[in-house]
Amino acid sequence: MNAPPKTENALAPYRVLDLAQGACTLCGKILGDLGADVIKVEPPGGDPTRNIGPFHKDTPHPEKSLFWFAYNANKRGITLDIETSDGREIFKKLARKADFVIESFPPGYLDSLGLGYEDLEQVNPHIIMTSITTFGQEGPKSHYKGGDLVSWAVGGMLYTMGDPDRPPTWTGFPQGALHGAAEGAAASLVAHWHREATGEGQHVDVSMQKCAAGTLQAVPEMWEFMKYVYRRAGPRLVSGSGLGRRQLFPCKDGYVAFMIMGGSIPGIVASTRALVAWMAEENMAPDWLLQFDWATDFDIADPNKFPQEKIDRIEEAMKRFFMTRGKQELYTGAVERGIILTPVSDARDVREHPQLRERGFWQQVDHPELGESLDYCGGFVEMSDTPIAIRRRAPLIGEHNDEVYRKELRFSREQLVLLKQNCVI
């Protein structure tokens, strides 16, 4: 049987109108990466997202936001003030030929403009609108203002992060919005599958709080069945007996991930034994550690037989060893000896990682206005028949106004001048 012909992109026939802001713009980028024609709709003067740093060469400018570059590649860009009557009518014209609308406004905002799902459904019965908000479209807190930190906090994940003797620690990078955007993209495609089968569009309602709560997995069940509130453990993994084992160890130039393990599983026992043997080669394994039997003496199920003080003593000896070497040296030695250990990568490590380089993850994208090319994260998956690629950099403000308004909506130059003078575009 002959293989089907390869197409350029999985979603090439479909169009997305992207009104989302901040990290929620990832939703449209995912659909754009898959080949959809994503039109980023910004207010005249530019989207507020353009003011999020860091900026190219540390020069604050709406056309130099690296945040904007990252989440708006593979999109075209137009300006349109949807709060004006002319702007609303233009948006409806665009919606007639669109397949998806993505937005992250407060619930009810688009309805107040006559551009909510029920309004657009009258214009285009097949439209799928995906709304990404902190609390969702309905419920007692749906109209509360919020953002990424709020969603991470009310979703419960924030409470679990950080050291046990300190307040919770935020990751410092948008997580609630990115989870909401990614799950919004997935839900949009599920709705698209339903539309392909039935012809019916629908409204996809994404709550960032629900997305954050979904990352907790077993934590709610711990409370439901055991009345146990999962607590912050810092770099430790806390067992059911309450004992904590360190998962991150400092080394000469950063951190490595390693956890002491033993018991009845041969590979796990061999890993810890191999580390102790390596320590012994360097005269850094105390006699009491050399005599420890990881198969029979490692019993963290009973704090009386294996108290926390014993774990701390073992870990302190290992920490002293790790501090004598860099993370790459530790990793190389771990691979040679069969030790379950990995370096904790920083941004530079990720950028230079041979696995990502070999898989062609990094992709150069030309920025003529900057006079150079920049490296971008490439496709998030590999697809054999519909390859993913960064086909275009993020749009400049109003870069595709002429292309969309004149060539596609057939507006005359005179109409565009008038719309610009009236601050509609």
Question: What does the pLDDT look like over 343-383, one tens digit per residue?
Answer: 999 999 999 999 999 999 999 999 999 999 999 999 888 88
Report the pLDDT value the prediction gives residue 265, as an integer from 0 to 100. Answer: 77
Of the two residues 170 and 328, the one the predictor is more confident about is 328
Digit-coded pLDDT (tens) for 103-155: 999 999 999 999 999 999 999 999 999 999 999 999 999 999 998 999 999 99
Digit-coded pLDDT (tens) for 181-193: 999 999 999 999 9
Report the pLDDT value the prediction gives residue 1, as an integer from 0 to 100. Answer: 30
pTM over 0.85: yes
Of the two residues 226 and 299, the one the predictor is more confident about is 226
Digit-coded pLDDT (tens) for 373-414: 999 999 888 888 898 989 999 999 999 999 999 999 999 999
Residue 330 has pLDDT above 70, yes or no: yes
CATH level 3 topology of 234-349: formyl-coa transferase, domain 3 (3.30.1540)
Domain edges within the chain: 15-215+359-421, 234-349
3-state SS string for the chain: CCCCCCCCCCCCCCEEEECCCHHHHHHHHHHHHCCCEEEEEECCCCCHHHHCCCEHHHCCCCCCEHHHHHHHCCEEEEECCCCCHHHHHHHHHHHHCCCEEEECCCCCHHHHCCCCHHHHHHHCCCCEEEEEECCCCCCCCCCCCCCHHHHHHHCCCHHHCCCCCCCCCCCCCCCHHHHHHHHHHHHHHHHHHHHHHHCCCCEEEEEHHHHHHHCCCCHHHHHHHHCCCCCCCCCEEECCCCCEEECEEEECCEEEECCCCCCCCHHHHHHHHHHHHHHHHCCCCCHHHHCCCCCCCCCCCCCCCCCHHHHHHHHHHHHHHHCCCCHHHHHHHHHHHCCCCEECCCHHHHHCCHHHHHCCCEEEEEECCCCEEEEEECCCCCCCCCCCCCCCCCCCCCCCHHHHHHHHCCCCHHHHHHHHHCCCC
Mean pLDDT of 61-87: 98
Domain 15-215+359-421 shares a fold with domain 234-349: no
Digit-coded pLDDT (tens) for 281-316: 999 999 999 999 888 888 776 777 778 898 999 999
Give the right CATH number for 15-215+359-421 from 3.40.50.10540, 3.40.50.12160, 3.40.50.720, 3.30.56.10.
3.40.50.10540
